[in-house]
Chain A
Amino acid sequence: METTPPRPDEFEISLFGPGKGECVVIHLGNNDWCVVDSCVARGKTDSVAVEYLAGFNNDALRNVRLVIASHWHDDHIGGMGSLLSQAPNAVFSCSVALEHPEFLTLISAANENVAGSSGVEEFAKILKVLEPRERTTPIFAVENRVLLSVSDANSSFPITLRSLSPSDRTLFLALSQIKGFLPQVGQPQRRIIAPYPNHASVVIWVVAGPIRALLGADLEHTRRSDQGWTAVLACHSDNPPASFFKVPHHGSPTSDNADVWTRMLDTNPIAVLTPYSPARLPRNSDLKRLCRRTASLYCTAMGSGQPPKRDPSVEKAMKRQLSERRIISGRPGHVRVRWSTNGEKPVAQIETFNGAYHVNPAILKSTPPD
């Protein structure tokens, strides 16, 4: 893990993944931080954000101002409870869909459930961490809401984080989905499996001095004017366009909207994505499509890695009964972009660590189709 902290006047966006999912760490200036989503590396218990920030040895964890859960899927929230517990001054933020009684009942039902649960279980941990704190109310993200704004005299550069989703319509859909998960009397106490597509994902627009960044979470494109990326485009009015893009939903075709690239993003923006092996994302065709959109595409890892080697008779039995086999959690790679906000035109310094790579379209051309 890289241990060189940014200078106080440097704006940084670091993307990690895949642990079981992805994590975005943002330097807000003056050693203040924000974390969007969380993942845990294979064999570890803490969020990669904890590992990264603790590695600076400069109290960065105490200076985490905001922790945002873009949505409640397992691959975006793992380890967030432990991150919040080690970031005592952080305020929690999540989609407004998750403040509704239906979701909170679902969390409690998951706690009652002897079978245990997945993403909602981590939310229960978050609630426990928040309970004794002075500020327990999260900042609920909705379309066009400022989640954080720092522009006082002490800040190196003014910075604002604004949520661009969920829209009213997507909120309604998300709540309908959540209601469908509420258990009924007489049903077996099964585990709760997160639904797809994810309607309530929080997209964030970051303005840091002259720099703009778009964090796409897992929001998908539905072709409805009041949902997904179309709704985001309708509510967004800021200029200039963003020079950094966290590609949504691991580069899947369902999250791709051409208008986002032309209306919200600069020419050849720095675009970064994380793989998600269970859904085999990104596919080769996704990388090719994204390479046509930008020459500056980065991926944090090739995938989650190879399955462990087991006894030959076990491997044989697995091969006989399974048609697919993919590792869920990997060792996260890291793409780090730092901009100095001192000069007139900030220049991005892009670095890749732990297997992260620049996607070379020439190599993709020679690889077979998916």
Chain B
Amino acid sequence: MPPKSQIKFFLQSSTKTSSDQIHQTQVLFEFGPASLAYGNNTESGQLNTLSTAKQADTVLASVQEIEGEQVPRDARVSPEVPQLPKEPGRTLQIKQLWEGTVTELRGKTFLALLKDKSQPDNPAEQVEFESVELRDDDWALVAPGSIFYWMIGTERTPSGQVRNISNVEFSRLPLWTRSSLKSAAQKGSCAEQLFHANGNHPS
């Protein structure tokens, strides 16, 4: 088990999500079914960029939705991807990545549904997190329906030190706007018309 200080170091190195960071993220991470790697041992050009991120289903969405604007329909939300300093010799092997959805809060613990992003054929699992290291501001995001990513991996430092990393990051989800809710209500109304098109109604 890695010391807490090491985990905190890792968490603190993450930065806010923004569209500017997409490119940084792309060159840092390579997603795939096998072990995942990032770091400057590999030239950024050799790593897959947007397409590999899509494979992992984690293309970043702009979370800054302006009132009145629609969130793009094909947008996906990813967590704030942790970034390590670009330092020669530093590597991270991601052994496991899950996408989680919180289903129930139980005090300081929570139940979640985990979908395996490393091996998508694996069945989904329902788990209860007993101990989870989260940044203080991430705790505010923990609610039924909120989305997070859980990564387990091994980091090798330039000095050759190897440490295990387990990192839970919650997504900053876009907010509902008046216009998006109005659009939902209009579509609901269309569905209602569809349902009653044949005039069948319970007596």
Contacts and interface: CB of A to CB of B under 8 A. Distances in A.
A151 interface: no
Nearest to B71: A114
Interface in B177-202: 177-178, 180-181, 183-189, 191-192, 194-202
B1 interface: yes
Nearest to A117: B145
A105 B1 CA distance: 47
Contact of A190 (B143, B194, B199, B200): B143
B146 interface: yes
B127 A185 contact: no
A204 interface: no
Contact of B177 (A145, A185, A313, A330): A185
B126 A104 contact: no
A239 interface: no
Contacts of B28: none
A138 B124 CA distance: 31
Contact of A135 (B61, B145, B192, B198): B198
A185 B125 contact: no
A191 B126 CA distance: 15
Interface string A262-288: 000000000000000110000000000
A238 interface: no
A114 B183 CA distance: 14
A109 B164 contact: no
Contacts of A305: 123
Interface hub of B109, B123, B173, B178 (most chain A Cβ within 10 A): B123
A313 B180 CA distance: 44
A104 B173 contact: no
Contacts of B152: 313-314, 317-318
A185 to B, nearest CB: 5
Interface stretch (A3-11, A56-64, A321-329): A321-329
A109 B181 contact: yes
Nearest to B111: A324
B101 A191 contact: yes
Contact of A278 (B126, B143, B185, B191): B126
Interface string A156-200: 000000000000000000000000000111111111110000000
B197 A114 contact: no
Contacts of B77: 114-115
Given A114-B61, A185-B177, A322 B127 contact: yes
Given A99-B195, A189-B175, A328-B125, A114 B200 contact: no
Interface string A120-164: 000000010011000111111110010000000000000000000
Nearest to A328: B124
A2 interface: no
Contacts of B127: 318, 322, 324-326
A184 B199 CA distance: 32
B145 A108 contact: no
Interface in B114-158: 116, 119, 121-132, 141, 143-147, 152, 154
Given A99-B196, A322-B129, 20 more contacts: A43-B121, A104-B191, A108-B188, A108-B191, A112-B71, A112-B183, A112-B187, A114-B77, A138-B200, A183-B176, A188-B146, A189-B175, A190-B173, A192-B145, A278-B126, A310-B96, A313-B164, A317-B152, A321-B130, A324-B127
26 contacts: A101-B192, A108-B184, A108-B185, A111-B187, A112-B184, A112-B187, A114-B75, A114-B174, A130-B194, A137-B197, A137-B200, A183-B176, A184-B176, A185-B175, A185-B176, A185-B178, A191-B101, A277-B126, A310-B95, A313-B154, A321-B166, A324-B126, A324-B127, A327-B125, A328-B126, A329-B123
